[in-house]
């Protein structure tokens, strides 16, 4: 991650921003918690942002407590974000980036139907150094086709 760990004050400020974003018109940012249903336990967070209204484009992100990695939660979360983006936000294109060293996250993005579009070199300054990113995306018609033509 290019941020964190966060102080209690930083976390409170983040939550206040997320709550304020819920009231924006039109709403462009959706920041959500990831909860294990049967335990009602918070295990991470995720977001979908409408980055370009005119071109109907958005991006997704997710972060899970390491104790819940490799259990299918990231895939379920990313899939739900993409479905929400296409079905409720009427997006045409949804993208995500991940660190090239994060093979698990790249696998999640590929598993939900995203295609790798590129390798962005030193596009993020994080924790005192430049970081590369892999760019993945899926188009609305690709998602419809992957679901057998069902919307």
Pure H helices in the chain: 8-21, 73-87, 103-111, 140-146
Confidence of residue 147 (pLDDT cuts 50, 70, 90): low
The number of distinct structural domains making up the chain is: 1
Instruction: Residue 31: give the domain boundaries.
Output: 8-146
Residue 141 lies in a domain: yes
CA pseudo-torsion sign 112, 44, 131, 29:
positive
Mean pLDDT value across the chain: 90
Which tokens in the block code for residue 104?
């698990």
Rg (alpha carbons) of the chain, rounded to whole number: 16
Is residue 38 within 8 Å of 52, Cβ to Cβ? no
In a domain? residue 1 = no
pLDDT tens per residue across span 59-79: 999 999 999 999 999 999 999
Say if residue 5's pLDDT is above 70.
no
Residue 85 lies in a domain: yes
In the DSSP assignment, the letter for residue 101 is T
Integer Cα distance of 151 and 144 in angstroms: 6
* Residue 38 counted as domain residue: yes
Judge whether 151 lies within some domain: no
Token reading at 121: 């070199």
SS3 for 75? helix
- With respect to residue 2, please indicate whether it lies within any of the assigned structural domains: no
Q: What integer pLDDT is reported at residue 4 of this predicted model?
A: 54
Q: For the domain that residue 72 is a member of, what is the CATH number? A: 3.40.630.30
- Report the pLDDT averaged over residues 134-145: 91
Cα–Cα distances in Å, from 56 out to 95, 114, 139, 149? 11, 17, 10, 20
Interval 92-137: pLDDT, tens: 999 999 999 999 999 999 999 999 999 999 999 988 999 999 999 9
Residue 127 confidence (pLDDT):
85
Would you state the pLDDT for residue 2?
53
């Amino acid at each position: 991650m290019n941020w964190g760990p966060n102080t209690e004050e930083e976390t409170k400020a983040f939550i206040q921003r997320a709550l304020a974003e819920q009231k924006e018109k039109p709403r462009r940012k959706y920041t959500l918690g990831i909860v294990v249903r049967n335990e009602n336990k918070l295990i991470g967070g995720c977001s979908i942002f409408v980055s370009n209204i005119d071109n109907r484009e958005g991006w997704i992100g997710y972060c899970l407590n390491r104790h819940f990695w490799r259990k299918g939660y990231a895939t379920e979360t990313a899939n739900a974000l993409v479905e929400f983006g296409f079905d409720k936000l009427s997006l045409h294109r949804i993208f995500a980036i991940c660190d090239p060293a994060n093979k698990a996250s790249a696998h999640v993005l590929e598993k939900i139907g995203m295609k790798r579009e590129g390798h962005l070199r030193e596009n993020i300054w994080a924790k005192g150094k430049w970081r590369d990113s892999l760019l993945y995306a899926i188009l609305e018609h690709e998602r419809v086709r992957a679901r057998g033509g069902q919307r």
